[in-house]
Structure 1
Amino acid sequence: MNTTPVVLALHYQNDVLHPDGRIRIGLGDQDPAREALIAAAGRLLAGARADGWPLIHVRIAFRPDYADLARNTPIFRRTEEIGAVRDGEWGAGFFDTLAPVESKREFVVKHTRISAFYGTQLEQLLQLLGARTLIVAGVATHSVVESTVRDAADRGFDVWVAADACAAADRNVHLASLASMGLIATVTEADRALEKFRGEACT
């Protein structure tokens, strides 16, 4: 049985994490919580690379004219209003310290809905990798992370959420989302997830 986890890194993009980004996550440039999030995400990605685990970086991006944006939800209407995550522009690119590297074990998936599974090749890619276990992290906790985690659980994956590598603009919303996901996933911290699966690989 393949026990090697696949890490899903969701929306670590300039418009989301950079101080000059259009969306942001409610964390100021000098906010310690922002630095803690970036540090935890960095450790998760570095640990996955050190152990040779597959990494799938998921970004959200729309055409510059937003012709591929679904306007049935307030969050996407707001995305268009503020001119965020337009494909080919800086904002839709990956945040520098959390960006993919050139490797046969790293992949990039682009999506245009809430869940990273909807309308993408993510599930086929996971099947190709023989994945059974996912470690999920990203921004925002209550939107792309929770939606993707729920989809993954329904598809039969064993899902772990690296809580300290996730964030939302409202801390209470972040915590409520983690509690909700605790019904269908193992909610832990990035370092503990790394230790757990690194330990399994050594047994």
Structure 2
Amino acid sequence: MAEQGEDQSGGEACTTEREPAAGRTALLIIDMFNTLDFGGGEKMRPAAEAAADAIARLRDEATEAGVPVVYVNDNYDQWHSERSRLVEMCRNSRGRALAEKLEPRADDFFIIKPQFSGFYATNLPVLLPHLEVSRLVLTGVAADICILFTAADAHMREYELWVPEDCTAASDAQRAEWALEIMRGSMKAEIAPTTKMTLKDWIDRA
């Protein structure tokens, strides 16, 4: 498992007083630091880069609104790795455009995961209650794997979910649509894109 420390859950930010998350919401950015070095990675790259643009805009809205931003990222079998090393690795890969568009800021949280779900063997189940969060906006890749698994675990923990369809990507567009429909139908997730529902709209639903 990845090392514990500042890059796991935000370090000092977890030990200082924070205002409760606006709308009881956190924005999760899943696996967008990605080398795209896998079967289907090159095929997914255009959709992932388009999603990165939409996620970057949503991240700016989250920061302005007081919604915490939590990066949840695979460790790519780099078991001694942490945030800066993962970011640098991705900057030197065919996923570099994603890393450049979404480089984490000092106040963002960063959790490294060893498996598909952001909840499995990570600090996320501890961090979210600390932030007084009960609603999640899930973004990132891949819609039919890590987003879907994270959404399932979040649903079992009774989190309300918004998975904006323009903020996700997969190597196969049909599989992405299939996964989003499962999240909408089985996990009661909102899947409206950010062009049709804003973060303020989501917060106002709380």
1:188 corresponds in structure 2 to: 192
Which structure 2 segments of 5+ residues have no match? 1-19
CA distance in 2 between partners of 1:140 and 1:109 (Å): 17
TM-score (norm 1): 0.75
Tell me: CA distance 1:178–1:129, structure 2 relative to 1, closer, same or farther (3 Å).
same
Q: Is the contact between residue 44 and residue 169 of structure 2 (CA under 8 Å) also seen in structure 1?
A: no
2:24 corresponds in structure 1 to: 4
State the 1:62 CA deviation.
4.1
Tell me: CA distance 1:173–1:102, structure 2 relative to 1, closer, same or farther (3 Å).
same
TM-score (norm 2): 0.74
State the 1:52 CA deviation.
1.6
Q: Is the contact between residue 87 and residue 103 of structure 2 (CA under 8 Å) also seen in structure 1?
A: no
Aligned-residue Cα RMSD (Å) equals 2.7
CA distance in 1 between partners of 2:121 and 2:44 (Å): 30
CA distance in 1 between partners of 2:153 and 2:169 (Å): 19
Which structure 1 segments of 5+ residues have no match? 17-21, 68-85
1:149 corresponds in structure 2 to: 151
State the 1:197 CA deviation.
3.0
Tell me: CA distance 1:25–1:6, structure 2 relative to 1, closer, same or farther (3 Å).
farther
State the 1:50 CA deviation.
1.4
2:127 corresponds in structure 1 to: 125
What does 1:54-203 correspond to in 2, within 5 Å? 54-64=68-78, 90-91=89-90, 95-103=99-107, 106-183=108-185, 184=187, 185-191=189-195, 192-199=197-204
Alignment partner of 1:12: what SS? Answer: coil
Q: Which runs of 4+ in 1 moved over 6 A?
A: none
| Paired residue type of 2:53 | A
1:62-85 deviation per Cα after TM superposition (whole angstroms, max 9, x unaligned): 444x79xxxxxxxxxxxxxxxxxx
| Paired residue type of 1:122 | L
